[in-house]
Structure 1
């Protein structure tokens, strides 16, 4: 089995240059979890008080549900908290379970992705292998996401063993429902529904939690997956090109790519660097001659154009 190529930090940095990227924080990860839930709570409140804002709130909440998946990913790498017990508790109960995932199942799956990135044994290869696709194909995928079809496939059909073997780009994402995650997901969501019912706004669970989870969350998860690995030439053989980094504007960070998830090339180079240090790592790597090999896109729209055009120009842009 060919493993993905690796780069040692010593090939790019002196010990002093690398030291800031090795440290773990006792408070940054828990604060990010609180921040994520805080934004969700404020968006739910805004939707309840001003129903005209519900479409905007659905997008905000769906993006922060992706944020929970990203912070679960941090926990899978042991980077969410210094204390590993706290790291796993936060990553599982406050990040994974509410969106229907299981940290214990996700961790080995995801680490296998890192070990074999873009090689045949990569469990996530199915997410990037189909691209580029036609614009019509991408539109169909987006329609499936926004109409809840992807959610139904992941949360209902995939839960049945007879369907579980039918893996495609809709069901291969590591955060999909597994047998172990169904019951905790239902219990936590029942508690959410009960709490909102007692507050006199039972409908808010369906309009401002379940609807984002069934529509915007699958869409931005798909866009993230495409941007991370699709159409990166040499991704299976060059560590600097194992993934793509996408420069995200403020609106893209708000509605598509929270918590530095857009810095994916840096994450694959050095997967134990916490997410909040990836922007600094991007600047540090790009300052080195080797950094010129990295795939850096100018935005998510640029990535989608490349992913739907069979012969497109490279998306690398100068700093």
Structure 2
């Protein structure tokens, strides 16, 4: 039997938990781009290889923060004001990491409707787990070296021009030949690729105006490398190695996140993923409160950390 949220929380508790805030959304934008600006400034002042490494790691975390903010906006919960979710987040969070709020929303609602079942469009992100230790190392190495990122870029390009159906998982589905062609590619490319390219040009121009255009390249480098690592760890923590089925307590996991995890793989309380699937209208800044309430009601246990989940996902015998 599927858990009903009204059997867990009172109407007053639901009203409190789902209360949105424009200030909380604004803080996300200021913090994300403030940290990113600090990374670019540090690189411009101290262009040491170790600083490049640190900046790429931190920028990958901020790119994941942009992706999670896009996820929140897709649920219309990052901001209280509707257009801030659909327009501001689209330009300041989604486009810089090659997403867009509307197409992501359409895909993601199917994930929520079919989580843990054969119809879940994100199932291919986690159905290879558990793997063995060598398999996990290979996947993470491909992520860190940029090979996964290059594959993702190619897929996004083909989706944006309309050659493939849009997805954020690894489920590759080509459009019928009748729906493809040069005219279709040009029209779709202008509509879908254009805003992403404009966002990159704007970031480059801003850094150029600051006299450090060359530090822009840390952004695509992070996108191809550390961002890919963090995406994988986030995905396997949320839904990998679980019983599955339609019951949220069996198909979704909440993970404990320390300060390092929050900088890299768990921005905006995204580690409270079971709570999010229980009630997707709860904004990110109220998820820890929801988790505490579930613990008090005896419905949630102390979560395991990210390292424990990674070991679980790599626990299959070779």
TM-score of the superposed pair, with normalisation by structure 2: 0.87
- Which residue, 1, 7, 13 being the options, matches 1:11? 7
**1:188-234 CA-partner distances (Å, limit 9, x unpaired):** 1122222222332221011x21111111111101110010000012x
2:106 is the counterpart of 1:108? yes
2:49 is the counterpart of 1:43? no
Q: Structure 1 residues 251 and 232 mapped into 2: Cα distance closer, same or farther (>3 Å)?
A: same
User: For this pair of structures, how many residues does the alignment match?
Assistant: 297
**1:69-105 CA-partner distances (Å, limit 9, x unpaired):** 0001110001011111122112211110011111111
Give 1:221's aligned residue: 231
1:135 deviation in Å?
1.4
- Which residue, 16, 21, 31 being the options, matches 2:17? 21
Counterparts of residues 183-202 of structure 1 (less than 5 Å): 183-202=194-213
More helix by proportion, 1 or 2? Answer: 2
1:26 deviation in Å?
2.5
Give 1:283's aligned residue: 292
Give 2:312's aligned residue: 306
| Cα separation, 1, equivalents of 2:28 and 2:168 | 31
* RMSD, aligned α-carbons: 2.3
Give 1:264's aligned residue: 273
Q: Structure 1 residues 129 and 17 mapped into 2: Cα distance closer, same or farther (>3 Å)?
A: same
Give 1:314's aligned residue: none
Q: Which runs of 5+ in 1 are unaligned?
A: 173-177, 312-319
Q: Structure 1 residues 195 and 72 mapped into 2: Cα distance closer, same or farther (>3 Å)?
A: same
Q: Structure 1 residues 51 and 79 mapped into 2: Cα distance closer, same or farther (>3 Å)?
A: same
Q: Structure 1 residues 6 and 182 mapped into 2: Cα distance closer, same or farther (>3 Å)?
A: farther
Counterparts of residues 1-319 of structure 1 (less than 5 Å): 6-52=2-48, 53-160=51-158, 164=164, 170=170, 180-206=191-217, 208-233=218-243, 235-292=244-301, 297-310=303-316
Secondary structure, in 3 states, of the residue corresponding to 1:98?
helix
| Cα separation, 2, equivalents of 1:158 and 1:195 | 25
The 8 Å contact of residues 43 and 57 in structure 1, kept in 2 or not, is answered as yes
| Cα separation, 2, equivalents of 1:215 and 1:31 | 26
The 8 Å contact of residues 154 and 171 in structure 1, kept in 2 or not, is answered as no
| Cα separation, 2, equivalents of 1:287 and 1:198 | 53
Q: Structure 1 residues 181 and 147 mapped into 2: Cα distance closer, same or farther (>3 Å)?
A: farther
The 8 Å contact of residues 115 and 246 in structure 2, kept in 1 or not, is answered as no
The 8 Å contact of residues 100 and 181 in structure 1, kept in 2 or not, is answered as no
- Say which is worse superposed, 17-26 or 31-40, in terms of deviation: 17-26
1:147 deviation in Å?
1.4
TM-score of the superposed pair, with normalisation by structure 1: 0.86
Q: Which runs of 5+ in 2 are unaligned?
A: 173-187
